[in-house]
Amino acid sequence: MPGRRRTSRTGRALLLTMRLDQFVAKATGLSRKDAKQAISRGRVTVDDRPCRQAASKVLEHQTVQLKDQRLTLPGQRYLMLNKPEGVVSSTGDDPHPSALSLLPPALRPELHMVGRLDLDTTGLLLLTSDGQWSHRVTSPRLRCPKTYRVTLADTIDSVALEQLRRGVALRNEQRLTAPAEVTLLTPRMIDLTITEGRYHQVKRMLAAVGNRVVALHRTRIGEIVLDPALAPGEFRALSDAEIHSIGG
């Protein structure tokens, strides 16, 4: 079972539960089999007591030692990538390369992409090893805002802008979209901020007001803004402030 981290309203980690063998393997780089063996031989202590059950749960505040050496988990990773066109934000069966392939091989195994962008959508894609953090970005209940720069096929009028702001009916869906923020930049370009993540939502919202998206670029997630120094395909680690700006 993967480790689980719960957070308080301030975002502070309260509780980590992870199987002991998984904790030992992650902290030491031992294989799971070798970690289990060390545990069954009584070489691992939890809060100074030998623990021989590989499946027992380790809590955040507990001290785990292997042969008197305190074990700690390696830190989580948080990155932003300027996604170019033509890469997918999934790792499944797809003829196109995954955005993960743009990262050095050593970084890839632990990371997952936070949410999805279409093949032809560019811009801000977050990657992390921290499942709880990515949940806070993607959970519909938490309404983390995402901003897109949208280039349109046709000029957009004030009626359509107002419809987008109030909420529109997407094809084959009953429920209107949640209110959105819209800034008109040019007659064929808007910034649109939405707090939901429905399937192809931006393209379908613009279709619902009789227009068509010709280019879509994500510029912002919550307080995290795509770094203008990143060329398409480039990435960088998030700062502590960026990581902590995603609340819980």
Instruction: Tell me which residues touch ligand URA (CB under 6 A).
Output: 117-118, 121, 200-203, 216
Q: How far is the CB of 83 from ligand URA (least distance, A)?
A: 9
Set 34, 118, 191, 227: catalytic member:
118
Please choose, from the candidates 225, 217, 147, the residue with its C-alpha nearest in 3D space to the C-alpha of residue 183: 147
CA distance 98 to 113: 10
Q: How far is the CB of 219 from ligand URA (least distance, A)?
A: 12
**CB-facing half-sphere around the CA of 128: CA atoms within 13 A:** 20
Question: Nearer to ligand URA by C-beta: 77 or 200?
Answer: 200
Q: How far is the CB of 118 from ligand URA (least distance, A)?
A: 4
Tell me whether residue 191 is one of the annotated catalytic residues: no
Strands 13-19 and 57-58: antiparallel
Q: Which alpha helices (H) appear in the chain, and where do they start and end?
A: 20-28, 32-40, 131-138, 158-166, 201-208, 240-245
Question: Nearer to ligand URA by C-beta: 34 or 118?
Answer: 118
Question: Nearer to ligand URA by C-beta: 25 or 216?
Answer: 216
Q: How crowded is residue 78: how many other Cβ atoms within 10 Å of its Cβ? A: 22
Question: Nearer to ligand URA by C-beta: 20 or 117?
Answer: 117
Task: Identify the three-state secondary structure at position 193.
Answer: strand
CA distance 149 to 185: 9
Q: How far is the CB of 228 from ligand URA (least distance, A)?
A: 20
**CB-CB contact of 115 with 161 (8 Å):** no
Nearest-10 Cα torsion for 87, 90, 94, 95: 20
From the number of C-beta atoms within 10 Å of its C-beta (0-12, 13-18, 19+), residue 85 rates as middle
Q: How far is the CB of 111 from ligand URA (least distance, A)?
A: 19
Question: Nearer to ligand URA by C-beta: 135 or 200?
Answer: 200
Helix, strand, coil abundance in the chain, percent, nearest 5: 25, 30, 45
Catalytic residues: 118
